[in-house]
Amino acid sequence: LMEWSRLRDVFLDEMIRLDGLGSQSSPMVCASGLCEKEGQYRCLDCFGSSVLCSGCMCATHQSHPLHRIEVNFWQKSSLHSLGLIVPLGHMGTVCPRSPTPTDLTVIDISGIHTVSVNFCDCEFACLPHRTQLLRVRWWPATLNRPQTVATFAALDTFLQLSLQSKLNMYDFYLSMVHLTDNAGVLN
């Protein structure tokens, strides 16, 4: 503890740096290097938390739709609000016959998210929506027209917590609600 106390200012400076631009020198340019657009968004779950524009943020998160996003120094946002649509049933590519996107409520260990998905509706190769969800490790709450899912990671975490500490499902769900919006100020 004595060793750390001599370095506490370094730790404090670095914690404050994370609430600013971090290592980024210019707040105006997307850090992806792929475009010259204004960078306004950062991901709390990606390594390094670079500031990106909305298009690059969606492109880099096509396979990570549950990452937590912040905008404009630093308010909670979401990939859903940026327009990210996750294609299902075609191994990450868009189904040529997919209908309009469906909004799902996804319960994950990082909180509760809204995610837009495009289900595959191909005439011959079409799988039921529940099967398409299971293949991306999302457990549907209902069999027909699911609107709420839980990730396998959330279910596994709940199982371990309930076995070890006797946590009930209601308290686990409330924990996910608080992870999403602890102060209760978001819509």
Q: How many domains is the chain built from?
A: 2
What was the pLDDT predicted at 49? 77
Q: How far is CA 4 from the centre of its chain?
A: 34
What was the pLDDT predicted at 177? 92
Tell me, yes or no, whether 91 and 163 share the same domain. Answer: yes
Tell me, yes or no, whether 34 and 65 share the same domain. Answer: yes
What would the two tokens of residue 151 be?
A: 């990730």
Q: Please say whether the dihedral angle defined by the alpha carbons of residues 145, 148, 151 and 156, taken in this order, is positive or negative.
A: negative
Tell me, yes or no, whether 104 and 49 share the same domain. Answer: no
Tell me, yes or no, whether 120 and 149 share the same domain. Answer: yes
What was the pLDDT predicted at 160? 97
Which of 93, 25, 39 minimizes the C-alpha distance to 69?
39
- Domain's final residue, options 16, 51, 77: 77
Interior angle at CA 174, CA 74 and CA 157, nearest 5 = 90
**Is 29 exposed, middle or buried, given 0-12, 13-18 or 19+ CB atoms closer than 10 A?**
middle
What was the pLDDT predicted at 124? 63
Q: Give a yes or no: residue 187 inside a domain.
A: no
What was the pLDDT predicted at 25? 59
Per-residue pLDDT of the chain (187 residues; tens, 9 = 90+): 788 889 999 888 888 877 776 665 555 688 888 888 888 898 999 997 788 999 999 999 999 999 999 988 778 899 999 999 999 987 777 777 777 899 999 999 999 999 999 998 887 667 899 999 999 999 999 998 999 999 999 999 999 999 999 999 999 999 999 999 888 776 6
Q: Give a yes or no: residue 38 inside a domain.
A: yes
Gyration radius of the chain over CA positions: 19
Tell me, yes or no, whether 6 and 38 share the same domain. Answer: yes
- Domain's final residue, options 77, 112, 142: 77
Containing H/E element for 131?
Answer: helix 129-134
- Domain's final residue, options 43, 77, 111: 77
Tell me, yes or no, whether 62 and 118 share the same domain. Answer: no
Quote the pTM value: 0.85
Structural domain of 148: 85-180
